[in-house]
Structure 1
Amino acid sequence: MIRFKAGAPRRGRTPTASRAATRSPRLRLPRRSSPSPAPDRPRGDRLRAVGVPTAWAAAALTYRLTCPLVRDDRIGSRLVNRAVLCALGTGMILHVRHGLLRELRQARRAARAAQAVPLRPPPPHVDGLAVAAIQLSADTSARVGGDLYEVVATDHGVRAVIGDVRGHGPHAARAAAAVLGCFREAAHDESELAGVLRRLERVMTRRARARRDAIRTAADDTPHAPGHDDPADEDFVTVLLLEILPDGATRALNCGHPWPHLLGRTGAVPLATADPLPPLGPFPLPPDLPVTPCAPLLPGTTVVLHTDGAEDARDADGRFFPLTRVLDEAARATPPTPQAVLRTVLAALQRHTDTPPQDDVALLVLTNERPAPPAVAAGRASEPATSHLAAGPRPPPRDTSASRTRPGS
């Protein structure tokens, strides 16, 4: 965290400071954000925090020493004394409560701001694709989680990522930020999806090595401390990389993540059914990373990327959330825009669980709004209504019985 000292003199910029400001434009806050506090505001807050309780206490002591009713033993005077002291004590308690609530709100705003830095909202349109996304955190106090998503337009096509870091909370949010930062650079630099995935794997490997070194150093400093398991070996992230070419052709690399759903006029079908690779972290990736060709994203169709928190949400009876059925209903809506799909899924999820999410949930919806070529449009007009979702035979419905068990995370 970079802190700027309040009230620092501004006599000019040194060459080093000018170069640092030129190289780091991200440090500048946007104009629409709240203005920076005045230099004397922190001191005023401290004085207020100490002065108001002191004033209440001084008022109580002054009343106790100077008021003649205090020395009066009649029942009416005693009641007045008790009422006055009770009012003064209540004022002190309310002031302390107000200060604690203000600090809690500031901490939550800081947590939301920290989450918005790595997991910023995607633009509404990316190279002819309409985009909408949302993330719900299981950590309601900090509002940060381990789910991640991003979509960028590159010279190699539109590339999207969605992932789920093990666990939730600040630690998972830091891992998600590292993966997102690496993807945003690798998506433009690497010509193949396999190269992007290799870069993400190296990020997780470096994080695991750094945590093991930190744990080993802490164990050397306190040799008599009780033993504990090494959490660095348990860190992993499921990731799905999706590439959408200008003609609508799609291909993906999947590391332990649920396959997206393709929404069309006939409903929702999986984008692909191939076996995924293992998650990043516990095991190294195989030398060969074959890219999985998926069903095309033709004009007017929608693809929904999600994390397992949406599928594994349970109701009071232990039944899993019927995501495929809800997406079928959203696909038949007119028109199935990304915002409409998100509203349908979130409303159904809230009705199903009726409680805050027990796991992080992330949804990323992409709709192809590119105009169809004339030859393709003419060919589609003469085809049956179900031919534009040539994704193979539809798999059997998902088992949503309460006997299903989720792998440990």
Structure 2
Amino acid sequence: MTDQKPPSSRTVLSSMPVVVMAIVAVADVVAGPGVGFLPLVSLGPAFSGLVGGWRRTAVFGLVALVLCVGLGLYDGLFEERRGFTAMAAVAGVTAIGVAAAVMRSRREAELASVRSIAEVAQRVLLRPVPLTAGPLQAAVSYTSAVAEARIGGDLYEVVASPHGIRVIVGDVQGKGLAAVETAALVLGAFREAAHDEPDLVGLGERLERSVARELEGEKFVTAILAEIGTRQEAVFLNYGHPAPMVVRRDGAVDFPRPPAHALPLGLGVHGTEGPKPYRVDFAPGDQLLLYTDGVTEARDDEGRFYPVGERAHLLKDPHAHRALEALRADLAQHSDGPPHDDAAMLLLRYHGHEEGKSVPTG
């Protein structure tokens, strides 16, 4: 036995004009001319205008008009004004429905154009990370808090520079287009400086200067910079961002934290000491998960935060993208309703040169 799927709301609305006009016609014939059901025939083209195009609405309007004439003759309503009043009601509702359908079609076309532009902006702003970079495999996940949006205020990038693999994950204060603009600024500065600056501290200072020049008021960007070279270690520079999660080859989980708290990008005052770099062992078989607070601050229906450290076992899949997708699905299941903040996750796996680049990444 096959399961019957419930009809979609659009399918139900599409069938409503026929159903409504049939019910009105039957009710009018049964009740007779004294009840006054006839003007309700106009509900047919009214419902058609909700989901159909203007041509479909016009066709249903014509059908409703013919039905109105037939029922009016049957009831003898054209001997008085009621029949003509019902026809005028049907014609008026049909005209309004056609106009509404035309306007809706134009809005849908405009929305499709905006979405197309947004997808291009996404590819420019948040480019796909490389599947492999040196000894690393990479996978990324991004969930926007804005309905049907694909980008927001979170940012990430992986750059293979002459000085090692350099990574940034950040979170812009606020949401909407202003946050997207700031994210574009930070990513542009990072992509340029990642190739030029010989050390991570210099990269961070250059990024701080770029952000400070552009941001106004008390706007800021939390970010974590990472550099993975040839020494089987990761160097971090943390600007007020959640600590990364390191999953060791044996399954042990660690959240290495900076030696001292540092302000986010954009809040650094002249003369204030920036963050100190700190090093963490990162060897073949280890995994590094960088994320934004949209992950750790996601709450379930009882108000509990998402325990990302307890979910490290979900990253066991040999395909990096499938592993990260499993973590993302678990995060969505944990959350109570739609996300309240953007959530970005960047997974880096140290597979080592000796294991080659034949390892699939999904």
TM-score using structure 2 length: 0.71
Q: Find the aligned partners of 1:349 and 1:289 in 2 and give their Cα distance.
A: 30
Q: Tell me which residue corresponds to 1:247.
A: 231
3-state DSSP of counterpart to 2:97: helix
Residues 159, 348 of structure 1: alpha-carbon distance in 2 compared, 3 angstrom cutoff? same
**2:299 aligned with 1:314:** yes
Contact map agreement 2:256 2:280 (CA 8 A) in 1: yes
Q: Tell me which residue corresponds to 2:350.
A: 368
Q: Tell me which residue corresponds to 2:131.
A: 124
Q: How does 1:8-407 map to 2 (within 5 A)?
A: 73=79, 79-140=86-147, 142-208=149-215, 232-264=216-248, 265-272=250-257, 274-284=259-269, 286-287=272-273, 290-296=276-282, 298-327=283-312, 329-331=313-315, 333-335=316-318, 337-372=319-354
3-state DSSP of counterpart to 1:135: strand
Residues 186-237 of structure 1: per-residue CA shift (max 9 Å, x gap): 11100010111111111121113xxxxxxxxxxxxxxxxxxxxxxx221111
Q: Find the aligned partners of 1:153 and 1:330 in 2 and give their Cα distance.
A: 27
Contact map agreement 2:141 2:325 (CA 8 A) in 1: no
Q: Find the aligned partners of 2:88 and 2:214 in 1 and give their Cα distance.
A: 64
Q: CA deviation at 1:165?
A: 1.0
The AA in structure 2 aligned to 1:199 is R
Contact map agreement 1:135 1:362 (CA 8 A) in 2: yes
3-state DSSP of counterpart to 2:253: strand
The RMSD of aligned alpha carbons is: 2.9
Residues 298-336 of structure 1: per-residue CA shift (max 9 Å, x gap): 112211000111001112221111111112x224x343x
Q: CA deviation at 1:118?
A: 1.4
Q: Find the aligned partners of 1:366 and 1:165 in 2 and give their Cα distance.
A: 22
Contact map agreement 1:108 1:141 (CA 8 A) in 2: no
Contact map agreement 2:134 2:353 (CA 8 A) in 1: no
Q: CA deviation at 1:84?
A: 4.1
TM-score using structure 1 length: 0.63
| Gap regions ≥5 residues in structure 1 | 1-51, 209-231, 374-409
3-state DSSP of counterpart to 1:363: strand
Pick which of 341-350 and 287-296 moved more.
287-296
Q: Find the aligned partners of 2:200 and 2:108 in 1 and give their Cα distance.
A: 47
Which has the higher Rg, Structure 1 or Structure 2? 2
Q: Find the aligned partners of 1:150 and 1:260 in 2 and give their Cα distance.
A: 15
Residues 273, 195 of structure 1: alpha-carbon distance in 2 compared, 3 angstrom cutoff? closer
Residues 233, 76 of structure 1: alpha-carbon distance in 2 compared, 3 angstrom cutoff? closer
Q: Find the aligned partners of 2:266 and 2:96 in 1 and give their Cα distance.
A: 56
Q: CA deviation at 1:272?
A: 4.2
Residues 361-394 of structure 1: per-residue CA shift (max 9 Å, x gap): 1111111122459xxxxxxxxxxxxxxxxxxxxx
Q: Find the aligned partners of 2:119 and 2:147 in 1 and give their Cα distance.
A: 11
Residues 137-187 of structure 1: per-residue CA shift (max 9 Å, x gap): 222265431111100111111110111111111111111111100111111
Q: Find the aligned partners of 2:107 and 2:285 in 1 and give their Cα distance.
A: 51
Q: CA deviation at 1:260?
A: 1.0
Pick which of 253-262 and 346-355 moved more.
346-355
Q: How many residues align?
A: 285
Pick which of 287-296 and 115-124 moved more.
287-296
Q: Find the aligned partners of 2:185 and 2:223 in 1 and give their Cα distance.
A: 13
More helix as a share of residues? 2
Q: CA deviation at 1:83?
A: 3.2
Residues 288, 181 of structure 1: alpha-carbon distance in 2 compared, 3 angstrom cutoff? closer
| Gap regions ≥5 residues in structure 2 | 1-53, 356-362
Residues 255, 273 of structure 1: alpha-carbon distance in 2 compared, 3 angstrom cutoff? closer
Q: Find the aligned partners of 2:85 and 2:320 in 1 and give their Cα distance.
A: 68
3-state DSSP of counterpart to 1:86: helix
Contact map agreement 2:212 2:267 (CA 8 A) in 1: no
Contact map agreement 2:242 2:291 (CA 8 A) in 1: yes
Q: Find the aligned partners of 1:73 and 1:93 in 2 and give their Cα distance.
A: 33
Residues 9-30 of structure 1: per-residue CA shift (max 9 Å, x gap): xxxxxxxxxxxxxxxxxxxxxx
